[in-house]
Chains A and B, each alone.
Chain A
Amino acid sequence: EAQVTQNPRYLITVTGKKLTVTCSQNMNHEYMSWYRQDPGLGLRQIYYSMNVEVTDKGDVPEGYKVSRKEKRNFPLILESPSPNQTSLYFCASSPLAGVGNEQFFGPGTRLTVL
């Protein structure tokens, strides 16, 4: 089944404890992206990747890191989480960027930082 998977689905952590949220897609998509969803704000892009080894900042990149060593994986790293990073996170992938292609979303990771 074609899908985007994320792990973990739920995570409660404490301020400053490094964490990684994994994202993997099995559709051979070139483009991958991370969004965060907050009430009343919709989804906002954190980072994106046009292809392997090519990543760039989205609208809200502060406090986050990403890497794209393989086409299928795009982990999101929070080196020192803070409470304002409590949010619902979505990974998405698309065949190519910028040509009206649909983005396929993972099931989401709900992160709470205490």
Chain B
Amino acid sequence: AQSVTQLGSHVSVSEGALVLLRCNYSSSVPPYLFWYVQYPNQGLQLLLKYTSAATLVKGINGFEAEFKKSETSFHLTKPSAHMSDAAEYFCAVSPRRSGNTGKLIFGQGTTLQVKP
């Protein structure tokens, strides 16, 4: 069965520092890949997604992620953290196969803390 692993349930960075949130998936066929952000008391909002085009995907709010097939990874980065980036981030996959039920398989989530 497919699974998603997010390394680190909590990540703390200083304002202006690089943000790196890690995501690895397990699948023999590269799935569709997503990063969602959840601000306190809100639903999930899509940051970016990888379908099959460029391996470096740019999203909203200055975030980007790089798909690396050899490493089965889809890490999320942002060059300079802002206080407003503090939130919980979820990596998710959707299998790329016939009969796909549309289910998103989520990682455990990573809480990003940004210190002034």
Contact = CB atoms under 8 A, between A and B. Distances in A.
Interface of A: 4, 31, 33, 35, 40-45, 48, 50, 56, 58-59, 90, 92, 94, 96-100, 102-103, 105-108
Interface residues of B, number: 28
Nearest to A102: B46
B9 interface: yes
A97 B101 contact: yes
B101 A42 contact: no
A48 B43 contact: no
B103 A105 contact: no
A108 B108 contact: no
26 contacts: A33-B103, A33-B104, A35-B104, A35-B106, A40-B108, A42-B90, A42-B109, A43-B44, A43-B90, A43-B92, A43-B104, A44-B106, A48-B102, A50-B101, A92-B44, A97-B102, A98-B99, A98-B102, A99-B100, A100-B51, A100-B52, A105-B45, A107-B42, A107-B43, A108-B41, A108-B42
A103 B101 contact: no
Max chain A C-beta neighbours (<10 A), residue from B44, B102, B104: B102
Q: Is the interface of B mostly helix, strand, loop or mixed?
A: loop
Given A98-B94, A100-B32, A105-B43, A42 B106 contact: yes
Contacts, number: 72
B109 to A, nearest CB: 5
B25 interface: no
A42 to B, nearest CB: 4
B63 interface: no
The 10 A-B residue pairs whose C-beta atoms are closest, nearest first, are A97-B102, A98-B100, A42-B106, A100-B32, A105-B43, A100-B51, A105-B44, A43-B106, A107-B43, A102-B46
